[in-house]
Amino acid sequence: MPIKILPESVTNKIAAGEVVENPASVVKELMENAIDASARSIQIRVEGGGKDLIILSDDGIGIPIEEIALAITRFATSKIDSIEDLQRIHSLGFRGEALASIAAVSMLRIQTRSKDETEGSELICEHGKLKSISRKGFPQGSSFEVRDLFSNVPARLKFLKSERTERSRITDLVLYYALAYPHLRFILEMEGRVVLQTAGNGNQREILAAVYDVETARQMLEVNLEEQGYSIHGFCSPVGITRSNRRDIHFFINGRLVQDVSLASALVNSYHSYLMVGRYPIAIVFLKVPPADVDINIHPAKAEVRFADARAVSGKLARAVRLALLASSPAPTFNQTLWGSSNVETKEYEIFNPSQHDFPPSSETGSIEGITTPESNHVQAALGLDEHMPLLRVVGQVGATYIVAEGPDGLYLIDQHAAHERILYEQILDKRVQKKDMQLLLDPILFTPNARETVLLASVEDTLEEIGFQVDAFGPGTYSIRAVPAFMSRTFSLRIITDALHELDDEKSSAVSKEKEEVVIRSICKGAAIKGGTILSKEEQENLIRQLETCQNPRTCPHGRPTMIHLSVDILERQFGRKGSR
């Protein structure tokens, strides 16, 4: 079918929005186009994390010269004619939006020759302006060169993550697609180095080894279920391999990488009772469902779908996974590594690893001779020794920020914010608030995260729920918050959640990274803790100190900064010249 502009009656019904959010989304769109063009081999080159250059070449059907200008026109596609076509399409593209969106924010060059032509053509487009179309000789297929992405949209550029993060996003994406299309050859070259090359021989385990590691790939269980026009195929981990979050659970639905929280829950639930609380399996599952049973037109980047009968799909998935688990006859193995990575241990490590946190260098806090901050006790503290604090008598508040207290051995200055952070943090981890008291909201707060935030949110939904949030999906791209943890009803702000998500995003996003929950909880404690500059009544000050006394690590906040400074009787006497003169 030739490329033509869709009539407005059709475009009106297409979920429009931001298609190109980051370099990885460019790669995704170009890969999907190549797959639609029946390519056998896809070569991708990335430089500068994709910001500088992305080249994707395929050996697909190519684009005839008379249609090439239409390829970069918005809503021009060769893949559908009418909205009803969506019910039966098997192509990945249908909006005719991707190339137009990419062209608008980059320097784009397309070189292509269609299978019916003897001579190829080249199109050059700069920031959405068509510069030239010329005839040139090329082999059959297409090559898309995207330079200087977002150079004309500084705002977008600003929101890109570090090159490293963008690179790992691209690598993950290409890996997953390579796994989904094992009969195609993929070559990914990054900053001059080939990081992935697949044989295109249909062997998925070979590719799994690149996604995880050889040992994990070997152990992954195969999921297989064919039923009533549905096919569920893929891999899930045996019970011995777990993660502390759901980030390594992925789904392809009808050939598209899709985020689906309810499928992920169904999968996790199939492991019910096999895994310790807070541990999650890893999985990548490819579902094929009759096109009429799934709406792919709900998300601008096609990152989400809606099933006609979601329950049925979840049910089938759960069954497929359980079959795979049963076949492997699992016996729960609580091995050393599993226990070793439990919260308590890593918490200690992180708190006292100064290089990870921005707490002030000791020269700053320890500058007055004789004043001890917990930092000087790092090693001891890390070993869990002498961490408790003496009983304190509150004297008062200074600068609406610090609480002055007296102990048996001198004067204590307590940072109210840091102290409260510590209290909340331990309450959450201790599950002392696991009773999960929630303050319900009169009217749900609607929250529309962007695509990235949506992904992050999905990955920490369980954690949020554990803390006492009630967050539910509320239509495409929208979530509703119906309850907040009781301990933060006075301090709650939507910003606390978005901040937590962003903090999460800033963390290194490798597959086996540090614990997401911890990041989220720390961030939420920070947001919910009373701020410096808040005047506290004497009662509130006392209450804070009482609660701090019950903490396991009262001397540092969850980010590792000290909660208190101690001026010993000795130092007071010295400084006032009382000692020695007598």
Partner 1 sequence: MKLSVSQPQLAHGLGIVTRAVSPRSTLPVLNNILLATDEGRLRLSATNLELGITKWIGAQIQEEGSITIPARIFSDLIGALPGNTVDLTLNTRTQTLNIHCGTSNFDIKGIDAQEFPPMPVPDLQNGVELNISDFKEMIQQVSFAASTDEARPVLQGVMMEIGNNEITLAATDGFRISVKKTSLSTPVSAPVKVIIPARSLSELARIATNGDETISMVVPEGRGQAIFHLKDAELVSQLIDGKFPDYNAIIPRSFKTNTTITTVEFQKACRQAEIIARESNNVIRMHIQPQEQGPGIVEFSTQSEERGSGEVVLEANIDGPELLIAFNVSYLLNVLDVISTPNTILATNADNTPGLIRPVGDESYLHVIMPMHLG
The one segment of 92-100, 156-164, 419-427, 510-518 that binds ligand ATP by CB under 6 A = 92-100
| Ranges of H-type helices in 468-568 | 494-506, 516-528, 538-549
The reply to whether 492 sits near partner 1 by the rule CB under 8 A is yes
Distance CA 451, CA 21 (A): 8
Q: Which structure tokens are listed for 41?
A: 């081999």
Residue type, 556: T
The reply to whether 493 sits near partner 1 by the rule CB under 8 A is yes
Q: Which is nearer to partner 1, 76 or 433 (CB)?
A: 433
> What's 412-470 look like in SS3?
EEEEHHHHHHHHHHHHHHHCCCCCCCEEEEEEEEEECCCHHHHHHHHHHHHHHHHHCCE
Distance CA 571, CA 538 (A): 27
Say whether 267 sits in a helix, a strand or coil.
helix
Q: Where in 1-60 is the site for ligand ATP (CB under 6 A)?
A: 3, 29, 33-34, 36-37, 58, 60
**Residue 314 in contact with residue 306, Cβ under 8 Å?**
no
Q: Which is nearer to ligand ATP, 19 or 501 (CB)?
A: 19
Which of 10, 65, 99, 268 touches ligand ATP (CB under 6 A)? Answer: 99
Which of 43, 78, 106, 372 touches ligand ATP (CB under 6 A)? Answer: 78
The reply to whether 120 sits near ligand ATP by the rule CB under 6 A is no
Q: Which is nearer to partner 1, 383 or 446 (CB)?
A: 446
- Binder of residue 550, out of partner 1, ligand ATP, Mg ion, none (CB less than 5 to 8 A by kind): partner 1
Q: Where in 288-307 is the site for partner 1 (CB under 8 A)?
A: none
Q: Minimum distance from CB of 490 to ligand ATP (Å)? A: 46
Distance CA 495, CA 445 (A): 12
**Residue 548 in contact with residue 418, Cβ under 8 Å?**
no
The reply to whether 61 sits near ligand ATP by the rule CB under 6 A is yes
Burial 506-524 (b: 16+ CB within 10 A, else e): eeebeeeeebbbbbbbbbb
Q: Minimum distance from CB of 98 to ligand ATP (Å)? A: 3
- Binder of residue 478, out of Mg ion, partner 1, ligand ATP, none (CB less than 5 to 8 A by kind): none
Q: What's the CA angle centered on 6, arms 150 and 42, to 5 degrees?
A: 50
Listed residue (553, 558, 570, 550) closest to 528, CA to CA: 558
Q: Which is nearer to partner 1, 5 or 441 (CB)?
A: 441
The one segment of 192-200, 207-215, 356-364, 542-550 that binds partner 1 by CB under 8 A = 542-550
Cross-strand bridge partners of residue 484: 439
Return the number of other C-beta atoms located less than 10 Å from residue 355's C-beta: 4
Beta-sheet strand order (sheet of 185-190)? 129-136, 120-126, 107-113, 141-147, 53-58, 41-47, 185-190, 193-197
Distance CA 177, CA 42 (A): 11
Q: Minimum distance from CB of 174 to partner 1 (Å)? A: 37
**Residue 478 in contact with residue 239, Cβ under 8 Å?**
no
Q: How far is CA 231 from CA 120, 179, 372, in A?
A: 40, 16, 64
Torsion of CA 532, 533, 536, 542, to 10 degrees: 30
The reply to whether 435 sits near partner 1 by the rule CB under 8 A is yes
Q: Minimum distance from CB of 184 to Mg ion (Å)? A: 16
Q: Minimum distance from CB of 327 to partner 1 (Å)? A: 37
Q: Minimum distance from CB of 533 to partner 1 (Å)? A: 10
Q: Minimum distance from CB of 354 to partner 1 (Å)? A: 31
Look-up of token digits 């000050």: 541
Distance CA 98, CA 3 (A): 14
The reply to whether 442 sits near partner 1 by the rule CB under 8 A is yes
Q: Which is nearer to partner 1, 236 or 521 (CB)?
A: 521
Q: Minimum distance from CB of 547 to partner 1 (Å)? A: 8
- Binder of residue 350, out of ligand ATP, partner 1, Mg ion, none (CB less than 5 to 8 A by kind): none
Q: In sequence order, which residues have a C-beta less than 8 Å from that of residue 430 and are 6 or more positions away?
A: none
Q: Minimum distance from CB of 91 to Mg ion (Å)? A: 8
- Binder of residue 77, out of partner 1, Mg ion, ligand ATP, none (CB less than 5 to 8 A by kind): ligand ATP
Distance CA 41, CA 56 (A): 10
Residues that bind Mg ion (CB under 5 A): 33, 93, 98
User: Is the sign of the CA dihedral 56, 61, 66, 67 positive or negative?
Assistant: negative
Distance CA 433, CA 528 (A): 14
- Binder of residue 415, out of partner 1, ligand ATP, Mg ion, none (CB less than 5 to 8 A by kind): none
The reply to whether 536 sits near ligand ATP by the rule CB under 6 A is no
- Binder of residue 96, out of ligand ATP, Mg ion, partner 1, none (CB less than 5 to 8 A by kind): ligand ATP
Going by the DSSP 8-state scheme, the letter that residue 280 receives in this structure is: B
Q: Which structure tokens are listed for 551?
A: 């903490």
Which of 329, 443, 537, 580 touches partner 1 (CB under 8 A)? Answer: 443
Residue type, 162: S
Which of 69, 441, 455, 473 touches partner 1 (CB under 8 A)? Answer: 441
Q: Minimum distance from CB of 344 to ligand ATP (Å)? A: 48
- Binder of residue 62, out of ligand ATP, partner 1, Mg ion, none (CB less than 5 to 8 A by kind): ligand ATP
Q: Minimum distance from CB of 553 to partner 1 (Å)? A: 18
**φ, ψ of residue 485 in degrees (nearest 5):** -60, 140
**φ, ψ of residue 344 in degrees (nearest 5):** -60, -45
Interface map 180-209 toward partner 1 (x if CB under 8 A): ------------------------------
Number of residues lying near ligand ATP (CB under 6 A): 24
Q: Minimum distance from CB of 58 to ligand ATP (Å)? A: 5
- Binder of residue 483, out of partner 1, Mg ion, ligand ATP, none (CB less than 5 to 8 A by kind): partner 1
Look-up of token digits 């954690």: 463
- Site residues, ligand ATP (CB under 6 A): 3, 29, 33-34, 36-37, 58, 60-63, 71, 77-79, 93-100, 142
Interface positions with partner 1 (CB under 8 A): 432-443, 445, 468, 483, 486-487, 489-490, 492-495, 543, 547, 550
